[in-house]
Amino acid sequence: MKDRRKKNGVVSWSTFFLFTIVVFLSSIIFTALIFSSIYSFYIPHFHLPKTVFKWRTPTPPQITIRETVTLPDQVLIFLNYPLSFYHHTKNDLQCVYLSDDLAPQLTHEPIQLHSVRLHEQIVRCPMPPRGETVSLRIKSNITLQIKNSSIHNWDPLVYEALFDRDNTTIVFVKGLNLRPEKLSEPSRFQCVYGWDFTKPKFLFKSDVLSTAQEIIRCKTPPSILAQAQTHTQHEGFIKVSIQVEGKKIFPSIARPGIISLLKPPNRKPYELCICTMLRNQARFIKEWVMYHSKIGVERWFIYDNNSDDDIENVIAFLQSAGYNITWHLWAWVKTQEAGFAHCALRARASCEWVGFIDVDEFFNVKIKVDLRHVIWHYSNPEKKVAEIRTPCYSFGPSGLKDVPSEGVMMGYTCRLAGRERHKSIVRPDALNHTLINVVHHFHLKAPFVAVDVENGAMMINHYKYQVWKVFKEKFYRRVATYVADWQKEENVGSKDRVPGLGTKPIEPDDWSNRYCEVKDVSLRNWVLKNFKDKKTHLFPWQPGFELHLKKRQRQKEKGIL
């Protein structure tokens, strides 16, 4: 066993500790050397030439490019900042495109900048021309260096990882191409931990416990676990990747994040949270958050697939208005299932229940109008209920041609009669270890079960077929791993597609009157009664409402002064 492991390039624990000590000692000696040279410079009788001192000066801390990942339509650049550095703004940085010849360098404004972990920023740049690589230039004159080994494609790639509280690591991988909803044989895989995967001497391997879809769960090696527990502020000190039997190690940018490793408190702070994934839906979020807050949702996790609309401002506004909502960049291609698993794990520490819905879906509660009442009603602990399923009904354009200014709940009032798939609210503590989920449904671990909400108690209004201007965006964006793109001529009869639409984004003549079988104003009436402002006749999510509020606030302040 030991021999086999050595051949795989694995060091034993004692070798590792020896190595650590050697590194530690040599760094002490190195520091001592530098200090002695500085010291000697200040002792007059040595008269060392100035150049010696200069030559020994360590390079000042710098911003460095840690990784770059090329997505189908843009490039992600991960920047590391030294401790005391302020993060740059969009105006400080330029994307620079480098070619092999010495042609003049093309530059471009970044699409967006995101500060993520403590010393890390992600810059999104437009795609480079074919054959060129992209780097960054700071304040128009310093171009950052890129190591060849830090340039990756989005597939294959290990792109995220989390330490779980049961001493395992969850690894998110693109490029395994495993079947949906099935377990794969874990012994074919190994997790690999290290700083540089091209140096097999300094890698640790560990056994895989489960493999399914795009998620691998493995044992966290004890030394790494110990570091993770003591160095929470240095989150992401080591990378993790995976290796399939007899193949090369997957490229990886994943430095495991730490989700609360502590045992959860007896009662979590929030009864109900929501995870969602979106792209360029900023104009719909306010209505969706404000409404769901009123019916009992307490916390929102937004997974953002590279939006370039105003989403950060909208989220900042909602936060300042007191909604507990956080934003996470989820840039990866067709990874909705993995993103939901990631979100469920993050939410688990603070949420008893988590709902997985899209921003065009609205819970329509018929009795007592509080989602938490529905949960309490159905979550019979003796029956081990850990998933509550709500049927969805698809609304059509309802005769409209333009985006309804009062919001989707007021605007769309005609729907199809038959229910479509349902959506789930789950107990994150009861999820199956594999984190398998398909179309918003997780597998539960035994002995937990799912229940269906009775007809008439609750439904989801899914504003699926909105006015054409909004709807046509769906053509360009299919997010689930196991779903074909609409523009491709495969699977044309699939349930995922829209009845009566081809593979081209061209508006049918009768679009605004389609998908209309049942007039349904139940949610509209409730919203009208509970949200419309008596004075302004506006809804709180309408743009004019904010201005009005500010005006009212100013008047109040003046009154006080």
Q: Which residues in this chain contact ligand NAG in the complex, by CB under 6 A? A: 72-73, 141-142, 148, 166-167, 183, 225, 277, 279, 299, 305, 324, 330, 332-336, 339, 350, 432-434, 443, 445-446, 476-477, 479
Judged by beta carbon, residue 180 or residue 404, the one nearer ligand NAG is 180
DSSP H or E stretch at residue 96? strand 93-98
Residues paired with 107 in a beta bridge: 96
CB of 477 to ligand NAG, least distance (A): 4
CB of 497 to ligand NAG, least distance (A): 16
CB of 366 to ligand NAG, least distance (A): 29
Judged by beta carbon, residue 102 or residue 446, the one nearer ligand NAG is 446
Judged by beta carbon, residue 80 or residue 184, the one nearer ligand NAG is 184
CB of 205 to ligand NAG, least distance (A): 18
Judged by beta carbon, residue 183 or residue 290, the one nearer ligand NAG is 183
Sheet holding 64-70, edge to edge: 112-115, 120-126, 74-80, 64-70, 151-153
Tokens of 386: 């850990």
Give the torsion through C-alpha atoms of 133, 139, 140, 141, to 10 deg: -90
What is d(CA 40, CA 38) in angstroms, rounded to the nearest whole number? 5
Judged by beta carbon, residue 46 or residue 195, the one nearer ligand NAG is 195
Judged by beta carbon, residue 52 or residue 142, the one nearer ligand NAG is 142
* Burial classification of residue 242, based on how many CB atoms lie within 10 Å of its CB (0-12 exposed, 13-18 middle, 19 or more buried): buried
Judged by beta carbon, residue 486 or residue 515, the one nearer ligand NAG is 486
CB of 163 to ligand NAG, least distance (A): 11
C-alpha distances (whole Å) from 308 to each of 229, 280, 471, 521 are 36, 6, 18, 34
Residues paired with 438 in a beta bridge: 441
Judged by beta carbon, residue 219 or residue 366, the one nearer ligand NAG is 219
Long-range contacts of 533-540 (CB under 8 A, 24+ apart): 539/287, 539/406, 539/407, 539/410, 540/286, 540/290
Closest residue to ligand NAG in the complex (CB): 479
CB atoms within 10 A of CB 273: 26
Judged by beta carbon, residue 474 or residue 548, the one nearer ligand NAG is 474
> Residue 447, preceding bond cis, omega within 30 degrees?
yes
CB of 107 to ligand NAG, least distance (A): 15
Cα dihedral sign for 84, 87, 92, 93? positive
CB of 273 to ligand NAG, least distance (A): 7
Give the torsion through C-alpha atoms of 143, 148, 149, 151, to 10 deg: 70
- Amino acid sitting at position 400: L
CB of 393 to ligand NAG, least distance (A): 24
CB of 433 to ligand NAG, least distance (A): 6
DSSP readout, 102-123? -PPPEEE--SEEEE-STTEEEE
